[in-house]
Amino acid sequence: MSTTVDTLRGETLTATGITKRFGGLTAVSDASLVAEPGQITSLIGPNGAGKTTFFNCVTGLNPPDTGTVHLGDRDLSGLTPDKRARAGMARTFQRLEVFTGLSVFENLQVAVEAPKATGVFKSLFSLRHRPDPVVSRRVWDTLALLGIDDIAGTTAGSLPTGLSRLVELGRALCTSPSVLLLDEPASGLDATETERLQHVLADLAARGLTILLVEHDVDLVMALSSRIYVLDFGQLIASGTPDEVSHSDAVRAAYLGTTA
């Protein structure tokens, strides 16, 4: 069985009252959201609505001015991004952040190894780097799950965008996350790759992982999501099932630009 999928334990992600200002601009205003295990929750909105800012607030990369983030019953507010990651929060980036100088395999290996930091002196003076079979197994399984095991040895910086997104997704999965935050994972993917991604995400959710998705590919969002939140000018204007959201007047207004 796959080590990647077996170890997944989803937890509820609760973000409450997130507000983020940049100087005079309020990028996100009092936004709250709940993402349940075993479901894909989507966050959509026009360009500049504050989706990525919201992600950065939740993951701690860009701490919010006010608001709290809970994972299960643990309060993660105020923690640094790496502590949140070790607490089970994994993410991908809209603007790629792969480790360009490392091989694809190493990109995922780093993620598996990161939480169990070995002693400094031991690693500074170690004579042999024995590949840990558990780590390797985990990385190979994840690569196979995403269908990118054939490029394991390639330097990540030389990959096209689509494959780099899959590498980021694989890297996120390798941290043993309980919640997965995906920032436009399908942009730059071709049709086959998108289809594969859709299956993978659905499968991960079915196995109990919590997934929060920001995506412009509406087909994908509608097909996958259990619940959709709509962000416009930093404010949540609607939330509900795909069906409810697509019939909401507020959402139509936001996207078509008419005043409701």
Binding region for other proteins (CB under 8 A): 23-24, 46-47, 59, 61, 80-83, 85-86, 90-91, 93, 97-103, 105-107, 109-111, 113-115, 117-118, 120, 123-129, 151, 153-155, 157-163, 168, 171-172, 174-175, 190-191, 216, 218-219, 222, 245-247, 251-252, 255-256
CB of 51 to other proteins, least distance (A): 13
CB of 27 to other proteins, least distance (A): 13
Question: Residue 206 or 218: which CB sits closer to other proteins?
Answer: 218
Question: Residue 17 or 48: which CB sits closer to other proteins?
Answer: 48
Question: Residue 86 or 207: which CB sits closer to other proteins?
Answer: 86
Kind plus residue range of the DSSP H or E element containing 25? strand 25-35
Question: Residue 33 or 237: which CB sits closer to other proteins?
Answer: 237
Distance CA 242, CA 166 (A): 25
Find residue 44's DSSP bridge partners: 230
Nearest to 229 by CA among 251, 205, 202, 209: 251
CB of 162 to other proteins, least distance (A): 7
Amino acid at 115: P
CB of 48 to other proteins, least distance (A): 10
Kind plus residue range of the DSSP H or E element containing 233? none
- 108: CB partners within 8 A, 6+ apart: 139, 142, 143, 167, 170, 171, 174
Token pair for residue 254? 């936001």
Distance CA 160, CA 155 (A): 11
Amino acid at 204: L
Question: Residue 38 or 46: which CB sits closer to other proteins?
Answer: 46
Kind plus residue range of the DSSP H or E element containing 26? strand 25-35
3-class secondary-structure state, position 42? strand
98 close to 148: Cβ distance less than 8 angstroms:
no
CB of 92 to other proteins, least distance (A): 8
Question: Residue 30 or 240: which CB sits closer to other proteins?
Answer: 240
CA distances, 195 to each of 8, 92, 220 (Å): 22, 18, 9
CB of 215 to other proteins, least distance (A): 10
Question: Residue 18 or 90: which CB sits closer to other proteins?
Answer: 90
Q: Is the dihedral of CA 48, 51, 52, 53 positive or negative?
A: positive
CB of 160 to other proteins, least distance (A): 3
